[in-house]
Chains A and B, each alone.
Chain A
Amino acid sequence: MEIALHEKINKFSLRSLIIICLILLVAAYILLKIDVSFHQRHLENALLRLNMLSGVDEAKNELEALNSFITQARDSDIPIGVLLKKISNIASEEIFFNEFKLGPESKSGSISGYIKWTGVNPDTILNKFINQLNNSGYVKDAAIYSVERSSKDGSDINTFLIVFKLP
């Protein structure tokens, strides 16, 4: 009698355990499903709204692309006007240019000219000019390529060729 009751209790407990577990699993599944469908619905709504607003986004992207292209083109162009102005400031009164070449595509340039004798050593004048040119920030690696000394109308003339690179 006692054994039969014990078995009954065990059977009942095991059945209820299985049922509780199944209920838990189903409940978890349903809750998860509800959560997923809730978020899916939200996402669909948001995507629909985004689609409606995509005209603004497209126009904004086009504007930004054009702006970035113009900025890039401007920034890649060397400010030659400013470079010439800088040269007008640093070329001392003894220095005269014959030719000035600038190749932004080849990133190089050259200056040929001469130095009038005014009592100051031409090498000092030229070195000072080259230092200032290098320090200007618009030009780099400026160096004397050649210097020739000659005499014209009784005064010494130093012709020079300076080569430089563009940053």
Chain B
Amino acid sequence: MKSPSAQQKKIIYITLIISFFFFLFWFFVYAPQNRRLNLAKQQLKETEAQITEIMRITKGRKLSYAIRGLKEQFQRMAMMLPSTEQEAAIQVSEGARSQKIEIKNLAFAPKRPGKAKIAKYEIEELPISMNLACEFRVLGGYLSNLRNSSTLLTKVRELNIKSNGEGRPGLEVNLQISVYLSKASVASISSSAPLSKTIPAQVKNEPSLKAGSVLKQENHLAWERCPFSGKIYSAQKRLKDLTLAGIIWDEKKPLAIINNEIVKAQDKINGRTVIEIKHDRVILNDGSEDFELRLVH
């Protein structure tokens, strides 16, 4: 094999040196700069996405209005978290009284340390034990209201219902719930600084975020029967064993024919008392409330 001439060797060396310089440039200059460039591009993309998202929230409004709107929504929602035991107790007992539930006893247990911290507010659990006297359907309504309340966030820890005996609608109930409190008073902030006075209409009318479960439509069943007292709630079921066949009308002493029996006011039939006989219907009472029995045509 013929060895390369001096000229050829020179060309080879120069080519190798140039290649070596290219490699140095690529490794020490180009590649790091390229990495920086890609990183900057990626950060820019993320930042612009964040900006777009924030601009979407502001909906083209002034920044201060947008922030105030969001804070107002926060405070509206935070109203569900009272700051003191007294506030919680008032809300719980007012809810019960509005449903005509007798509260025999209401006691607090020591607060449980908060599991969550939202913004600068620490959430605590206040266990409340209540002894109630009420009817089955009323208790159900009260528990549903507590769960869906927009002014209180609670959870039931224990429920114990005892019967007072068949035919007696009143129940003895021991209800243990936990009410969520906010350690720093979120509610008092909103009451001391009424934002509604300073917030422009545009912000006030913004629909608020609502807790998902609040929006859930609960089962719309009708109350049928109290399984403790046996009381029938459903009007149809309550009257199914009674048939009003006729009314013998007399202004002073009307009579009715129910289940082929002639009855007058204050008579009893199938455990119900005849309260009043009208020209087209009879009012009966089953021990707890009045109901109507109409003529069958």
Chain B residues positioned under 8 Å from A23 (CB to CB): none
Assess whether B84 is interfacial by the CB under 8 Å rule. Answer: no
Binary per-residue interface labels of chain B (130-166) against chain A in the complex, 1 for a CB within 8 Å, 0 otherwise: 0000001101111111110000011111111111001
Q: Which of B30-38, B102-110, B252-260, B278-286 contacts A (4 or more CB under 8 A)?
A: B30-38
Assess whether B261 is interfacial by the CB under 8 Å rule. Answer: no
Contact of B30 among A28, A77, A97 (CB under 8 A): A28
Chain A residues 62-89 with CB under 8 Å of chain B are 62-67, 69-71, 73-82, 84-89
Assess whether A149 is interfacial by the CB under 8 Å rule. Answer: no
Interface size class of A (residues with CB under 8 A): 35 or more
**In the complex, number of A-B residue pairs with CB atoms less than 8 Å apart:** 222
Give the shortest distance, in Å, between B80 (CB) and chain A (any CB). Answer: 6
Q: Max chain A CB contacts within 10 Å: which of B41, B142, B232?
A: B41
Say whether, besides A17-B18, A66-B78, A73-B180, A99 and B160 are in contact (CB < 8 Å).
yes
Binary per-residue interface labels of chain B (20-56) against chain A in the complex, 1 for a CB within 8 Å, 0 otherwise: 0110010001100110110011011001101100110
Q: Max chain A CB contacts within 10 Å: which of B66, B74, B139, B180?
A: B74
Contact of A88 among B36, B44, B223 (CB under 8 A): B223
Assess whether B58 is interfacial by the CB under 8 Å rule. Answer: yes
The reply to whether B70 and A74 contact each other, CB–CB distance below 8 Å, is no
Chain B residues positioned under 8 Å from A21 (CB to CB): 18, 21-22
Chain A residues 88-120 with CB under 8 Å of chain B are 88-89, 91, 93, 95-105, 113
Assess whether B235 is interfacial by the CB under 8 Å rule. Answer: no
Chain A residues 1-58 with CB under 8 Å of chain B are 7, 10, 14, 17-18, 21, 25, 28-29, 32-33, 35-36, 39-40, 42-43, 46-47, 49-50, 52-53, 55-57
Chain A residues positioned under 8 Å from B11 (CB to CB): 10, 14
DSSP class of B's interface residues: helix, strand, loop or mixed? Answer: helix
Q: Max chain A CB contacts within 10 Å: which of B50, B142, B159, B232?
A: B159
8 A-B pairs (CB sep. < 8 Å): A28-B30, A47-B47, A50-B50, A79-B218, A81-B218, A82-B218, A86-B221, A88-B227
Question: Which residues of B approach A to under 8 Å, CB–CB?
Answer: 7, 10-11, 14, 18, 21-22, 25, 29-30, 33-34, 36-37, 40-41, 43-44, 47-48, 50-51, 54-55, 57-58, 63, 66-67, 70-71, 73-74, 77-78, 80, 116, 118-119, 123, 136-137, 139-147, 153-163, 166, 180, 209-214, 218-219, 221-228, 230, 232-233
| Known A59-B70, A70-B211; 9 more pairs at CB < 8 Å | A10-B11, A32-B33, A46-B51, A55-B63, A69-B118, A73-B180, A79-B218, A89-B224, A101-B158
Question: Which residues of A approach B to under 8 Å, CB–CB?
Answer: 7, 10, 14, 17-18, 21, 25, 28-29, 32-33, 35-36, 39-40, 42-43, 46-47, 49-50, 52-53, 55-57, 59-60, 62-67, 69-71, 73-82, 84-89, 91, 93, 95-105, 113
